[in-house]
Amino acid sequence: MKALVFDSTLKLLDLPMPTPAPGEALIRVLYAGICRTDLEIVRGYMGFHGILGHEFVGVVERSHNSFLRGKRVVGEINCVCKACTYCNMEMPRHCERRTVLGIQDRPGVFAEYVTLPEENLHLVPKDVQNEMAVFTEPLAAAFRIPEQLSVPADDRVIVLGDGKLGLLAAQVLWLHSKNTLCIGKHPWKLDLLAPLGIPTALNTEPVEGKADIVVEATGTVFGLNRALSLVRPEGTIILKTTTEKGFEMDAVSTVVNEVHIVGSRCGPFRPALEAIATGTVELTSMITAVYPLDDGVEALSRAKDHDMLKVLLHISS
């Protein structure tokens, strides 16, 4: 099979098809999405070498579960041991021996085939297009925020960042509080929220602080300090950014204002799939380019550019 591999450099290689372990399914990948995390891995984040990619939709080609065979699926990215301390505490996303699709010790989905545990798979509703289904994993990460904390309807919420995750988080939080504001630096990206009625502001414009919740999704080392300047005392910052370089942080104001900082990573697939199926979120306008897998190296290079938002890889039909 063809696969896009990172090993100090990006290469498109011919590799043997993977063999599913017991309890795993073999999936033919249809589409995959390029994520900020993929770009950070190429810069050195997580020290991962191998097949990149963790956002996908595919068709189950081989499985012991006959119900799954031939079905379109998306898949949760954490593969867990079910026996460690955190698995026993029903915190499998933090499994001590987990592998993570295309991120940690497990080949990813920028390939014609991938394997995943059958329990990680979710069926895609028949009316959901492949290009929309690819958004399930990042949208689930946005739905993790209301899973982690209550978002009352009268809370002031600020989302920092107009990248893919920032726009998705703004849409999800808008469902909970109509006092949600998204701040970014690209007018054309913020304009994508206008049809939904979600207020936006450029990061050069003055914005009132004292927000109850600030979501940091800028992808920069400076985003946390900006979030600290906008959150109220005893307010909550949801930290979504992962960068190879880490963060700058004003620890003194964090202590003095007793700010809660909550790390937030993977989230629930079911509400994400429901939101896509019902059209609760707008995704089509976020796709700026689709490349075949053969042009995967170029696709990742273009995904870094400021005039791009969501870049997809079309891997098979």
Q: Is the pLDDT of residue 159 over 70?
A: yes
pLDDT in tens, 68-122: 999 999 999 999 999 999 999 999 999 999 999 999 999 999 999 999 999 999 9
Whole-angstrom CA distances from 121 to 69, 241, 250 are 12, 26, 41
Q: Confidence class of residue 244 from pLDDT cuts 50, 70 and 90? A: low
Minimum mean pLDDT range among 38-52, 118-132, 186-200 = 38-52
Q: Is the pLDDT of residue 242 over 90?
A: no
% of residues, the chain, pLDDT over 90: 91
Which pLDDT score, from 0 to 100, does residue 129 have? Answer: 97
Q: Which two tokens stand for residue 218?
A: 């800028």
User: Torsion over CA of 101, 102, 107 and 113, rounded to 10 degrees?
Assistant: 80
Mean pLDDT across the stretch 227-238?
96
Residue 25 phi/psi, 5° resolution?
A: -115, 150
Q: What is the mean pLDDT of the chain?
A: 95
Same fold, 2-135+283-314 and 139-263: no
Could you state, in order of their start, the residue ranges of all structural domains in the chain? 2-135+283-314, 139-263
Q: Is the pLDDT of residue 220 over 90?
A: no
% of residues, the chain, pLDDT over 70: 99
Q: What is the pTM of this model?
A: 0.94
Q: Confidence class of residue 251 from pLDDT cuts 50, 70 and 90? A: confident
Could you tell me the fold of the domain covering 139-263? Answer: Rossmann fold (3.40.50)
Q: Look up residue 198 and give its amino acid.
A: I
Which pLDDT score, from 0 to 100, does residue 45 have? Answer: 85
Q: Confidence class of residue 317 from pLDDT cuts 50, 70 and 90? A: confident
Which pLDDT score, from 0 to 100, does residue 222 have? Answer: 87
Mean pLDDT across the stretch 19-41?
95
Residues forming a β-bridge with 33:
55, 312
State the DSSP string of 10-77: EEEEE-PPP-PPTTEEEEEEEEEE--HHHHHHHHTGGG--EE---EEEEEEEE-S-TTTTT-EEEE-S
Mean pLDDT across the stretch 276-293?
96
Q: Which pairing describes strands 24-33 and 310-314: parallel, antiparallel, or unpaired?
A: antiparallel
Mean pLDDT across the stretch 283-293?
97
Q: Is the pLDDT of residue 279 over 90?
A: yes
CATH architecture of 2-135+283-314: Alpha-Beta Complex (3.90)
Q: Is the pLDDT of residue 158 over 90?
A: yes
User: Torsion over CA of 88, 92, 97 and 103, rounded to 10 degrees?
Assistant: 180
Q: Is the pLDDT of residue 313 over 70?
A: yes
